[in-house]
Amino acid sequence: MKKALAVFIGGALGGISRYAIDLWLHDSTSLLGTLAVNLVGCFLLTYLTYGLAQRLDLSDWVSLMLGTGFVGAFTTFSTFVLNLVQQVSPYALVIFALNLVGGSLFTFAAFHLANRRRV
């Protein structure tokens, strides 16, 4: 039950944070907001998994709250795809490419940063 509650709390905080990013960016199409949270989420989840969780020896429930809960609710693949379907345009295709390439780069950077800091 503790783990389920941790995911619930992390998910609530991640979802609220996700909504706040859209409000902060004043993004009516949500393409920029989705891009921002997906890139940050790629970095956070990778750094959490390969850096913080190992270095700080986080308990399972804390890792679930931060990874599955917070980052899972914060990032949004379904919104990403819905935005692309609704906004079929050259701009949407650029955002699509930025999500894929940028997400890979952010994941790569977080992985190497986490491994570098462990030494």
**Ordered per-residue pLDDT tens for the chain, 119 residues:** 999 999 999 999 999 998 888 888 876 567 888 888 999 999 999 999 888 877 888 889 999 999 999 999 999 887 788 878 888 888 888 988 999 999 999 999 999 999 886 54
Which residue, among 61, 57, 66, 72, has the nearest Cα to 18 in the 3D structure? 72
The pTM of this model reads 0.82
Q: Check the annotation: does 75 bind a ligand.
A: yes
Q: Check the annotation: does 34 bind a ligand.
A: no
Helices 77-86 & 90-118 angle (0-180, nearest 10): 160
Domain that holds residue 74: 1-117
Domains held by the chain: number: 1
